[in-house]
Chain A
């Protein structure tokens, strides 16, 4: 099915949001405005948005450390996400999660996980919930080529198969687990592993083409919603930045020619060219969209700057849902004022 005019423009908008958000976050890490580190999805936007937009608003996602794109792709507003990266009280997790553990339940984002692969069973459980309650919702588990070698993926694919759960296992194969090339640690083709569980395995070679990803994942989502069970979709893509921002490795483990080739396949440039060539938008409209998104990011940073840091007492909130006797500010023995 051909996406509507509005959907096509929304795809470009969300890809741009991820790109500009991550570019800004990268700068903020380098300037010391964001504590800790962040992992960007720059270069992988087609894969993220193509998958996220194949889902309905109420559907669920769970993901990993390369985390900002998933909720943005699902439609999450940028302000609370940026505030979370800085650790502000207005952050989407009130400053408790940070970049590695973003979650925005309002858009069905059940949380990113700092442990690769660890969120796959969570997405599987959400699919179980949908099945038992009969609410028609579909789950999608994002994971990388590195996590594809975690045993929990195969436990999850097996149980999703026998229970016929409405879930899509989405492998974001950016070809490197930190510095380790996927082919040196991965036997065979990831998509082929689906066959062992009696489910379809699809490999999207053109992972920089948002429509190719959207089509493949839409088919998997439709299948899940019809009650026909899970699908494994492997999308071949590339990250343009380092594994994490600020990471400096002595040796470049990525071949310069390979990198140049992939930089040519910038998903945002490719899709803009497509939209203009097909007469869906003019160059001027595309420029205006870019300016709008940049303004959204500026606004998210302004919102973040103006937000307070959390009160120290919040460190002891939300461990439990009830006032179970537990730690409190009184336990901060030796804490600096």
Chain B
């Protein structure tokens, strides 16, 4: 074990994947210079020089022009013909430039060609929200892609998960989109130095509890854990679950937990309408309604665009205070019911 940052863990996973398989290539904007700090060598969050370029050469570390549609499309074509590309799309707001390739090609090719193609390609992008970069860099678009069958959607919330899930993504023969929250980049945690993978569709119980289940996504996970800590002092026992992958989703872990606690709060940094929180809430309402002792609560970003001014932006995302309030309110429902 070693202590690693979230960003360093991604770099370590990429290096291991490059070393393990010559078919793995990294393509993206500014990857040669390691501008985003994940192509910079052994466990370092940033390197002075483009270490990966020196280690693996220009054939396998490829800077691209600012051309998202062809970056995504050519990675798909390369994956269909023998490579296993990792694509760094820098910010997730830029994914929209390549929607045709994601939706009409990446998600559909294997299916519509009757299984002739497999597409072992990983698309990484950073959700740059909460950092005062305004509307064009602050998106959290994973629910839009959850709506596209054929893609796998990964949202790591810790350094350990960032490394293990990325390695599993590279091993997958299907297209995987990984959404990394920049708020988590500096998070430090224990990460094994040896290679490991985390299977998709297996949720992580961040904290066990008996009164309320909080399913938290991406940067809402540490916020939910902090809220749970605070609520424990008030005598409320909160179970925090991080699904880790949204497609496939560990429905059973969520249903089992709600079955024990009887209450659900979902904390999701995406916009409220048709969010991951909406989907998780629906699953629980459809399949565990009888277990519910209070209405489900969603703590999400409201359906507004992201403003620039810090005073406007900072109130928008699920944070510990809002999550704790939601938990108190669902517990309050119980107390009313019993009185």
B46 CB to nearest chain A CB (Å): 26
Contact A121 B248 (CB under 8 A): no
Contact of A121 among B60, B69, B114, B115 (CB under 8 A): B69
A261 CB to nearest chain B CB (Å): 37
Contact B248 A155 (CB under 8 A): no
A125 with B76: in contact, given A132-B83, A155-B70, A324-B201 (CB under 8 Å)? yes
State whether the Cβ of A111 lies closer than 8 Å to any Cβ in chain B.
yes
Contact A118 B70 (CB under 8 A): no
State whether the Cβ of B44 lies closer than 8 Å to any Cβ in chain A.
no
> Which B39-92 residues sit within 8 Å CB-CB of chain A?
59-60, 62, 64-65, 67, 69-83
Q: Which residue of B lies closest to A324 (CB)?
A: B248
A98 CB to nearest chain B CB (Å): 8
Q: For the side of the interface on B, what is the size category?
A: 35 or more
A128 CB to nearest chain B CB (Å): 5
State whether the Cβ of A50 lies closer than 8 Å to any Cβ in chain B.
no
A157 CB to nearest chain B CB (Å): 9
> Which B80-130 residues sit within 8 Å CB-CB of chain A?
80-83, 100-101, 104-105, 109-118
Chain A residues with Cβ below 8 Å from B104 are 113-115, 118
Q: Which residue of A lies closest to B121 (CB)?
A: A125
Contact A159 B152 (CB under 8 A): no
A111 with B113: in contact, given A121-B70, A321-B174 (CB under 8 Å)? yes
Contact A110 B81 (CB under 8 A): yes
Chain A residues with Cβ below 8 Å from B114 are 91-97, 103, 318
Chain B residues with Cβ below 8 Å from A91 are 114
State whether the Cβ of B30 lies closer than 8 Å to any Cβ in chain A.
no
> Which A107-165 residues sit within 8 Å CB-CB of chain B?
110-111, 113-115, 118-133, 135, 139, 151-152, 155-156, 158-159, 162-163
Contact B100 A123 (CB under 8 A): no
Contact B248 A62 (CB under 8 A): no
B25 CB to nearest chain A CB (Å): 6
Contact A123 B77 (CB under 8 A): yes
State whether the Cβ of B207 lies closer than 8 Å to any Cβ in chain A.
no
Contact A129 B65 (CB under 8 A): no
State whether the Cβ of B142 lies closer than 8 Å to any Cβ in chain A.
no
State whether the Cβ of B332 lies closer than 8 Å to any Cβ in chain A.
no
Chain A residues with Cβ below 8 Å from B111 are 96, 318-319
A118 with B77: in contact, given A128-B83, A129-B82 (CB under 8 Å)? no
State whether the Cβ of B149 lies closer than 8 Å to any Cβ in chain A.
yes
Contact of B200 among A105, A319, A324 (CB under 8 A): A324
Chain A residues with Cβ below 8 Å from B72 are 121
State whether the Cβ of A188 lies closer than 8 Å to any Cβ in chain B.
no
Contact of B76 among A92, A121, A135, A139 (CB under 8 A): A121
Query: Contact string, A157-178, partner B, CB cutoff 8 A, digits 1/0?
Result: 0110011000000000000000
Chain B residues with Cβ below 8 Å from A139 are 77
- Most A Cβ at <10 Å: residue of B79, B116, B152: B116
Q: Which residue of A lies closest to B119 (CB)?
A: A321
Bound together, the chains give a CA A17 to CA B76 distance in angstroms of: 31
Q: Which residue of A lies closest to B250 (CB)?
A: A325
B114 CB to nearest chain A CB (Å): 3
A111 with B117: in contact, given A121-B101, A320-B174, A325-B248 (CB under 8 Å)? yes
Number of A interface residues, CB 8 Å?
54
A318 with B77: in contact, given A132-B59, A158-B65, A326-B149 (CB under 8 Å)? no
State whether the Cβ of A101 lies closer than 8 Å to any Cβ in chain B.
yes
Chain A residues with Cβ below 8 Å from B37 are none
A319 with B116: in contact, given A62-B77, A122-B77 (CB under 8 Å)? no
Bound together, the chains give a CA A101 to CA B60 distance in angstroms of: 31
Contact A159 B70 (CB under 8 A): yes
Q: Which residue of A lies closest to B109 (CB)?
A: A111
Bound together, the chains give a CA A158 to CA B149 distance in angstroms of: 31
State whether the Cβ of B173 lies closer than 8 Å to any Cβ in chain A.
yes
Bound together, the chains give a CA A103 to CA B113 distance in angstroms of: 6
State whether the Cβ of A238 lies closer than 8 Å to any Cβ in chain B.
no
Bound together, the chains give a CA A217 to CA B101 distance in angstroms of: 27
A124 with B117: in contact, given A113-B105, A159-B65 (CB under 8 Å)? no
State whether the Cβ of B334 lies closer than 8 Å to any Cβ in chain A.
no
Contact A93 B101 (CB under 8 A): no
Chain B residues with Cβ below 8 Å from A95 are 114
Q: Which residue of B lies closest to A103 (CB)?
A: B113
Contact A124 B113 (CB under 8 A): no
Contact B83 A124 (CB under 8 A): no
Contact B74 A156 (CB under 8 A): yes
Chain A residues with Cβ below 8 Å from B69 are 121, 151-152, 155
State whether the Cβ of A271 lies closer than 8 Å to any Cβ in chain B.
no
Contact B77 A110 (CB under 8 A): yes
Contact A156 B70 (CB under 8 A): yes
State whether the Cβ of B222 lies closer than 8 Å to any Cβ in chain A.
no
Contact A318 B110 (CB under 8 A): yes
A90 CB to nearest chain B CB (Å): 10
B28 CB to nearest chain A CB (Å): 12
Instruction: A105-B113, A111-B113, A320-B152 are known; give 10 further A-B pairs, CB within 8 A.
Output: A122-B77, A123-B77, A125-B80, A128-B83, A131-B59, A133-B23, A159-B71, A318-B111, A320-B150, A325-B249
Q: Which 5 A-B pairs have the closest CB atoms?
A: A125-B77, A121-B73, A94-B114, A125-B74, A93-B114
Chain B: residues with CB nearer than 8 A to chain A? Answer: 23, 25, 59-60, 62, 64-65, 67, 69-83, 100-101, 104-105, 109-118, 149-150, 152, 172-174, 200-201, 247-249, 251
- 23 chain-A/chain-B pairs, Cβ below 8 angstroms: A93-B113, A97-B113, A97-B114, A111-B113, A113-B104, A118-B100, A118-B104, A119-B105, A121-B70, A125-B75, A128-B78, A132-B83, A133-B82, A152-B70, A155-B69, A156-B73, A159-B64, A159-B70, A159-B71, A318-B110, A319-B111, A321-B172, A321-B174
